[in-house]
């Protein structure tokens, strides 16, 4: 069996770490930058002692662990960080591929990520609902990494749907930009999500009823919902990431 390396994608609090551990199984390993702030900072390994000034050191620490795992032939290896169209992600992918690993992108298998990723694909129509999700994900993150809603919202605006591993491997080494997605409309950023509705244009585009963001939960939609139909279509056509079980 070929050695394999997964690069995790996804927003904070969408289940990346849970999926990463499942993919690694009993024989593999998870390389997570955030682990640095548990085990290498502070005195209690159960406490997340984040320090922005140590991010460069944390990234180097995680890549060193990754290289050691690759050089030992560990498989699967799961890189549990916010991988995207970045030089940092390319560094992981190239190192593994040049040493005989098959490299794939993977995303969380949680029901709420299945919903959010489709909303991100149709971002120009779903900004109010995504704004509500940014707040919910931030609330969930407070128990772990404390990522603020503004940071999650920023990542949503720059999310690149359809990214494949070839895009990362072929990224120009001289590139400075870490994102290829345009920012969302600035006026939408200030929209209060709790009272917003999907625009009429979005209803026509997606053939959905006007829906308040408050109706979107962490549960996967029922079979009667418009979103379930979209998700089914996505499951059949999106082959750029490892599908959820």
Stretch 32-54: mean pLDDT = 92
User: Between residues 74 and 200, which one has the greater pLDDT?
Assistant: 74
- CB count within 10 Å of CB 25 equals 11
Q: Which pLDDT tens digit goes with each residue over 117-169?
A: 999 999 999 999 999 999 999 999 988 888 999 999 999 999 999 999 999 99
pLDDT at site 173: 78
Distances (CA, A) of 188 to 100, 131, 212: 45, 9, 15
pLDDT at site 128: 92
Domains detected in the chain: 4-106 (3.40.50.300), 111-162+183-237 (no CATH)
Rounded distance between C-alpha atoms, residue 14 and residue 76, angstroms? 21
C-beta separation of 85 from 168 below 8 A: yes
Length of the chain: 245
- CB count within 10 Å of CB 91 equals 16
In which region does residue 179 sit, left (phi positive, over 0), alpha (psi from -120 to 50) or beta (all else)?
A: beta
User: Between residues 113 and 228, which one has the greater pLDDT?
Assistant: 113
What is the token pair recorded at 160? 């690149």
User: Between residues 218 and 44, which one has the greater pLDDT?
Assistant: 44
pLDDT at site 233: 58
Task: Using CB atoms within 10 Å of the CB of residue 95, give its burial: 0 to 12 exposed, 13 to 18 middle, 19+ buried.
Answer: middle
Mean pLDDT of the chain: 79
Task: Indicate yes or no: pTM above 0.85.
Answer: no
């Amino acid at each position: 069996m070929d050695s394999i390396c997964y690069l995790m994608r996804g927003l904070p609090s969408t289940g990346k770490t849970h999926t990463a551990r499942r993919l690694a199984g009993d024989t593999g390993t998870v390389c997570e930058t955030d682990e640095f702030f548990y085990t290498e900072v502070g005195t209690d390994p159960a406490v997340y002692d984040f320090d922005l000034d140590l991010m460069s050191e944390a990234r180097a620490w995680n890549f060193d662990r990754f290289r050691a795992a690759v050089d030992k032939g560990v498989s699967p290896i799961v890189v549990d960080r916010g991988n995207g169209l970045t030089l940092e992600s390319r560094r992981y992918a190239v190192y593994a591929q040049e040493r005989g690993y098959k490299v794939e992108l993977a995303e969380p298998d949680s029901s709420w990520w299945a919903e959010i990723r489709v909303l991100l694909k149709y971002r120009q129509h779903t900004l109010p609902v995504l704004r509500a999700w940014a707040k919910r994900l931030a609330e969930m993150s407070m128990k772990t990494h404390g990522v603020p809603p503004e940071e999650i919202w920023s990542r949503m605006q720059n999310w690149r749907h359809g990214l494949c591993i070839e895009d990362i491997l072929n990224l120009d080494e001289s590139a400075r930009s870490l994102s290829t997605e345009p920012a969302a409309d600035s006026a939408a950023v200030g929209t209060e999500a709790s009272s917003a509705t999907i625009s009429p244009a979005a209803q026509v585009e997606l053939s959905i009823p006007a829906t308040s963001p408050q109706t979107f939960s962490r549960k996967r939609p029922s079979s009667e919902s418009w979103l379930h139909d979209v998700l089914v279509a996505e499951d059949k056509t999106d082959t750029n990431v490892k599908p959820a079980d």
